Structure 1
Amino acid sequence: MFLFAVISFLSITQATASPPAVDRSSVLSTARAFVPNSEAKVSVETQEDPYAIVEYRAGNIEGRLSDGQILLQRFAFGWQVIDAASDPPGFTSAALHNHGISAPVARALLHGVVAGALPPGRWNDADHGSSEDITAIRETVLSETGEAISSVKIYEEYAVLTWFSRSGGERVFAKRDGRWVAIVGGGGCLDKAGFIHYGVSSQAAAQFSLWFPCGPFPATTPATAK
């Protein structure tokens, strides 16, 4: 009985201590869609749940071939690209912290501390809001596999999703009957007046313009509500 208890304890301890295995096929297929070049080579560099860094070579980024790294995050629906960095230098600790990644996780992903300052004016790309709502919003753009979904920020009953691929932009959501519905989306970004124009409350518009300082820009392309 004592021996059985010891074996059980050791088994539980080992199971708890072992990090979750990365689903490499899912990570690589998601990363490959972001660098749509049949000759591109992608490989998983590091993984620290729920993040992974993928190295790519000869990837098509913004219309030109380049080498670099892709940062992915695992959500309930699967993996999603949240950022990319040219190589060299690749990702730095500062860039990962910008996504809300803790120092210990950043160190594990980078095999140690890789110093680097954020570029001036760099937005804070950490998500803001409940994990349930953030996941629901991110899941609405799963079909757009060639885009990096940088962040989702929620305020009141509104949310802004930022994305980039060969260009970049925002998508604005409103919560209606318990569902998040896109009300406007496209390239560029909106200033406070632009948010209000599309029905966002003045208080939420003010907060979004602080999170995403830009403009005044032309209104983005209205999205079709589903």
Structure 2
Amino acid sequence: MFLFAVISFLSITQATASPPAVDRSSVLSTARAFVPNSEAKVSVETQEDPYAIVEYRAGNIEGRLSDGQILLQRFAFGWQVIDAASDPPGFTSAALHNHGISAPVARALLHGVVAGALPPGRWNDADHGSSEDITAIRETVLSETGEAISSVKIYEEYAVLTWSSRSGGERVFAKRDGRWVAIVGGGGCLDKAGFIHYGVSSQAAAQFSLWFPCGPFPATTPATAK
């Protein structure tokens, strides 16, 4: 009786500790929306919760057919594309570390260490802030399936979401009445003066300009608050 109880306890413990199986259909549907042409072939390459790498062939990225890989992350609302890499070379260890992915998880996703440096001027793409706020901000752009939502960085009551495809840009948010509202967004990036121009506090503007260093760009397209 005692032995049966021990075996039952171990079985329950192991079942509880097992990582969740990848929902391949959700991963693939999210990836297909990123490379929308019907002829594209997509397949889940690797998965290490909460990340997955999908390989695509003949994918349509902003009107151009190409091969490559897509990096996805699972949030409370589902999967979201956070980066894409042309193939070859595909993702490197440095690219995954740049998203805040730990070395063991990166090795599992890449089947080892893949050498390669980040492109010059590449920003740190790790999210910064509470997971609840990051998830809420990322969820606001779920309909924009052609973009990789690279990072969300929060400081005080402001946040900057960065996106990329073959180009890239920013969307600035402010927390109003407990919800995150987009106040400006578009291609390129803002300098400190640009952030302040759109109502970001000087302290937050200084921090964002450190996280996203760039020269003075023309004003981005103001977003309509909803």
Interval containing the TM-score (normalised by the shorter chain): over 0.9
Residue 108 of structure 1 corresponds to which residue in structure 2? 108
Distance 2:24 2:101 in 1: 21
Distance 2:112 2:166 in 1: 31
Q: C-alpha displacement at 1:166, in angstroms? A: 4.7
Distance 2:117 2:165 in 1: 23
Which is further off, 91-100 or 112-121? 112-121
Q: C-alpha displacement at 1:6, in angstroms? A: 2.4
Q: C-alpha displacement at 1:159, in angstroms? A: 0.2
Which is further off, 2-11 or 198-207? 2-11
Aligned counterparts, 1:48-197, within 5 A: 48-197=48-197
Is the partner of 1:184 in helix, strand or coil?
A: strand
Structure 1 residue runs of 4 or more that deviate by more than 6 Å after TM superposition: none
Any idea what the Cα deviations from partners look like across 1:85-112, whole Å, max 9, x if unmatched? 0111111110000000000000000011
Any idea what the Cα deviations from partners look like across 1:6-60, whole Å, max 9, x if unmatched? 2212312431443210000000000111111110000000000000000000001
Maintained 8 Å contact 1:62/1:167? no
Runs of at least 5 residues in structure 1 that lack an aligned partner in the other structure: none
Q: C-alpha displacement at 1:63, in angstroms? A: 2.4
Any idea what the Cα deviations from partners look like across 1:172-200, whole Å, max 9, x if unmatched? 00001111000001111111111000000
Maintained 8 Å contact 1:70/1:83? yes
Maintained 8 Å contact 1:27/1:79? yes
Distance 2:12 2:89 in 1: 40
Q: C-alpha displacement at 1:121, in angstroms? A: 1.3
Maintained 8 Å contact 1:69/1:85? yes
Which is further off, 55-64 or 121-130? 55-64
Distance 2:108 2:16 in 1: 18
Which is further off, 45-54 or 10-19? 10-19
Maintained 8 Å contact 1:40/1:57? yes
Is the partner of 1:89 in helix, strand or coil?
A: coil
Is the partner of 2:96 in helix, strand or coil?
A: helix
